Structure formats: C-alpha cells, structure tokens
Homo-oligomer: A and B are copies of this chain.
Amino acid sequence: MATSAADEPTIGDLGEFGLIDQLRGQIGDNRQILLGPGDDAAHVSTKDGSFLVSTDLLIEGRHFRRDWSSAHDIGRKAAACNLSDINAMGGVATALTVGFGAPGDLPASWALEMTRGFEVECAHVGANIVGGDVTASDKIVIAVTAMGDVARPVLRSGALPGDVVAYAGQLGLAGAGFAALSRGFRSPKAAVDAHRVPHPPYAAGPQAAGAGATAMTDISDGLLADLGHIAEASGVAIDLDSTTFVVPEAVATVSEALGADPMAFMLTGGDDYALVATFSSQATLPEGWTRIGRVADGRGLTVDGSAYEGPAGHQHYR
C-alpha cells in the first residue's frame, strides 16, 4: 500500500470505493438531484422534466491497450460501458459527450476511427455524441458522459426478501478474453472479442423496468461485486444457485487451458456489461433473463449457501 511522507492516507490506501465514499461526504444536496451518486446513473430534474446521467474516465494502459484493441473497438467499448449505465437504470441513452486527450503524434485516423466506434455503438440505442473536448495528453484519456431518458428509474436499493435474482446478457466472456490476452493468446475468438467490444443487452434494461424489476445494476466489476452493491444498498441477503448458470463454451475453453474454475469467470469476471436485477417472485421475467438466485432476510452474498472464496473483483487501486 502506498503511503505519503507524512503518513497521511493516500488514495491508494483508501482504494477506489473508499475514496468515492469520502468524496461523497463533500457533496451537498439540492432540489435538482432526484437521485445522486451511488447508483449506476444520477437522476436530475430539469425545469420541465428529468434526465439520467453517468460518467466514466478511461485511461490507456489501464482500461484499454492499443496493441490489444483497435481504435474502433476502444470507441465502441467506451461508449458501451456508459450506455450500459443508463440501461442499468431502466433508461434509454440519448446523448453522449466525449473528452479526448492524446499525444500530438497520434495519427489523426486513430481519433477518427475511435469516434466512428462511438457512433456505431450509440446507434444501437439511438444516441449521438452531442459535444466534446480535445486536449494534449501524454497518454490517451477518454472521458465519457452519457445522458438519457427514463420513465421509472430502477435503483440498487429496492430488492426485497422473497425476490428472485436474474441476469440478462453475457457473463464471464470478457473476463476469459482478458485472461487469454494477458497470457499472450489471441483466442478463443468469442472471449477475446467480448473483451474488446462488450455487447450490453440494451433492450433488457427498459424491459426489466417495465416488468417491475425491484433493483438493477450492470456488471462492470464482476457479478458478485456488483450484485453485492444491490445486497448492501437494499439491506438484504442474496444467495446464488451455481447450477443455474450456463457457462459459455469459450469460458470453458479458457478455463481448461489455464487450469481455472469456469465459475470464477462467471462470478467475478468484469466488463461484459450484463444486467443483474431482482424481481418479485410473482413477476414474469422478460425474455432473455435467466433466474440465478433468491433474495432473503439478512445480509451478504452467498453462492450455494456459502461465501464465495474465488478471486476478487477488479479494484483500480489494489
């Protein structure tokens, strides 16, 4: 752990989530904020209505690598992870802003390809880039803010004992692709492609909201990490049934090659931008949603009744 000269805590000491907690303590509240920091997106009132907004900051070498992904793929993924935040509230993204920092010797074609990637991904939901900023930077920096419409935002805090847990979209593929790329492999294609360009289930968010989802989030840091936020925010216990997960073939292939447990990718792999939500046990799950667990009284997250002891989810400062 990093420690500064005066033994003052550093942001490395606090970690990403510890720092966010402390920063939140500095932030005031006002009538414009219908829902502030702490969910996938904030819900802000306007003079005549409301909108959702979410932001992400992506740094070369940490969130993407130019030798692993094309500019087009990096643009698509940067768009996808933000559009997914709006999706995870049950909303539909309409507008993006993009801040772009890059060294002066970067070919202009790289920036153009990245922008095309943004537009291709945005077209999936009918959103567009509405503004941006360009500046010089030693490393490539991509700052994305997504805004969108929502009828009834689905929060992380609404899960109730007795609810069922379900997910929509892909699980484990991007994590398996990252593991393969990290060890110098360029296959299996389904996993490597999923790491390069995720495929968030954009229709599933508004459908879940329409079906009465009680809580929802997207899976960027791994199912257990993100579902843990729902359990904590809702003040409930959640148990997952590992037999209900269908492991994609590419995840099984990577697991076998690396001697890893495929469930580790399913439960802790990030960057797929699947959705996980809770529904009343009386609700009919929309098409594409797979039931994987149950909400109960209590606290904490378990798999088959026990704490999961696999590798932890991604933490930027750890």
The size of the chain A interface, using a CB distance under 8 A, is: 88
Q: Are A111 and B23 in contact (CB under 8 A)?
A: yes
A103: B residues at CB distance < 8 A: 12
Structural contact, A105 and B135, CB atoms closer than 8 A = no
Nearest residue (CB) in B for A131 is: B42
User: Is there an interface contact between B99 and A57, defined as CB atoms closer than 8 Å?
Assistant: yes
Q: Chain B residues near A286 (CB, 8 Å)?
A: none
In the assembled complex, A109 has its CB within 8 A of some CB on chain B: yes
Is A127 an interface residue, CB under 8 A from the partner?
yes
Give the shortest distance, in Å, between A44 (CB) and chain B (any CB): 5
Return the contact of A131 from the options B30, B41, B149, B316 (Cβ within 8 A).
B41
Taken together as a complex, chains A and B put the C-alpha atoms of A9 and B104 apart, in Å, by 10
A130 to B8, CA, bound (A): 28
Is A180 part of the binding interface, using a Cβ–Cβ cutoff of 8 Å? no
Interface residues of A in 86-124 (CB under 8 A from B): 94-95, 97-109, 111-112, 115-116, 119, 122-123
Closest to A143 in B: B143
**Quick one: copies of this chain in the complex?**
2
A19 nearest in chain B by CB position: B134
Q: Which residues of B contact A26 (CB under 8 A)?
A: 112, 115-116, 119
A122–B32 CA distance with the chains assembled, in angstroms:
13
Residues of B within 8 A of A250 (CB): none
* B19→A130 contact, CB < 8 A: no
Q: Choose from B4, B55, B143 the contact partner of A105 (Cβ within 8 Å).
A: B4
Q: Which residues of B contact A106 (CB under 8 A)?
A: 10-12
Q: Which among B102, B107, B126 is the interface contact of A4 at CB below 8 angstroms?
A: B107
Take A46-B46, A53-B147, A97-B55 as given contacts and tell me if A139 and B138 are in contact as well, using a CB distance cutoff of 8 Å.
yes
CA distance in complex: A30, B150 (Å): 18
Bound Cα distance A318, B49 (Å): 43
Shortest beta-carbon distance from A93 to chain B in Å: 10
A186 close to chain B: CB less than 8 A: no
Which B residues are CB-close (under 8 A) to A134? 11, 16, 19-20, 23, 57, 316
Contact A95 B33 (CB under 8 A): yes
Task: Give A35 to B109 CA distance when docked, in angstroms.
Answer: 26
In this complex, the member of A27, A115, A131, A133 whose beta carbon has the largest number of chain B beta carbons within 10 angstroms is A131
Residues on B with beta carbons closer than 8 Å to the beta carbon of A94: 32, 44-46
A16 touches B149 (CB 8 A): no
CB distance from A177 to the nearest CB of B (A): 21
**A130 CB contacts on chain B under 8 angstroms:** 32-33, 36-37, 42, 44, 53
The answer to whether B128 touches A36 (Cβ under 8 A) is: yes
Does A259 sit within 8 A of B, measured CB to CB? no
Q: Does A47 reach chain B (CB closer than 8 Å)?
A: yes
Of B46, B119, B145, which contacts A145 at CB under 8 A?
B145
Shortest 4 CB-CB contacts between residues of A and residues of B: A12-B104, A48-B49, A143-B143, A57-B99
